[in-house]
A and B are shown apart, each in its own frame.
Chain A
Amino acid sequence: MLIRLEDVYYTYETEGIEALRGVSLQIQEGEHLAIIGPNGCGKTTLIRHLNALLLPARGNVTVDGLKTDHPKHQAEIRAQIGMVFQNPDHQIVGMTVEEDVAFGPENLRLPSDEIKKRVTEAMSRAGIAKLAGRGIENLSGGEKRLVAIAGVLAMRPRFIALDEPTAFLDPAAAGRVLDMIDRLHAEGVGIIHITHNMAEAALTQRVVVMREGRILLDGTPPEIFGKAAMLKQSGMQLPQITELLLELKEAGWPVRTDIVHMKDALDQIIALTGKKQG
Chain B
Amino acid sequence: MAYLDHAATTPILPVATAALTKELGELGNPSSLHAAGRRARRVVEESREVIAASFGARPSEVVFTGGGTEADNLAIKGLYWNRQEKRPRPRILASSVEHHAVLDPVRWLAETQGADVVWLDVDEIGRVDPQQVHDEIARDPDSVALVTVMWANNEVGTVQPIAECARAAAGFDVPVHTDAVQAAGHLDLDFSASGVDALTISAHKLGGPLGVGALLLGRSVTPTPLAHGGGQERDVRSGTLDTPSIVGFAAASAEAIETRTQRIQAVAALRDDLIAKVVAEVPDASLNGDPRLDSAHRLPGNAHMSFPGCEGDSLLMLLDAHGVHCSTGSACSAGVAEPSHVLIAMGSSPADARSSLRFSLGHTSTGADVDELIAAIGPVVERARAARSRAATAQRG
Partners in one complex: no
Interfacial residues, chain A to chain B (CB-CB below 8 A): none
Interfacial residues, chain B to chain A (CB-CB below 8 A): none
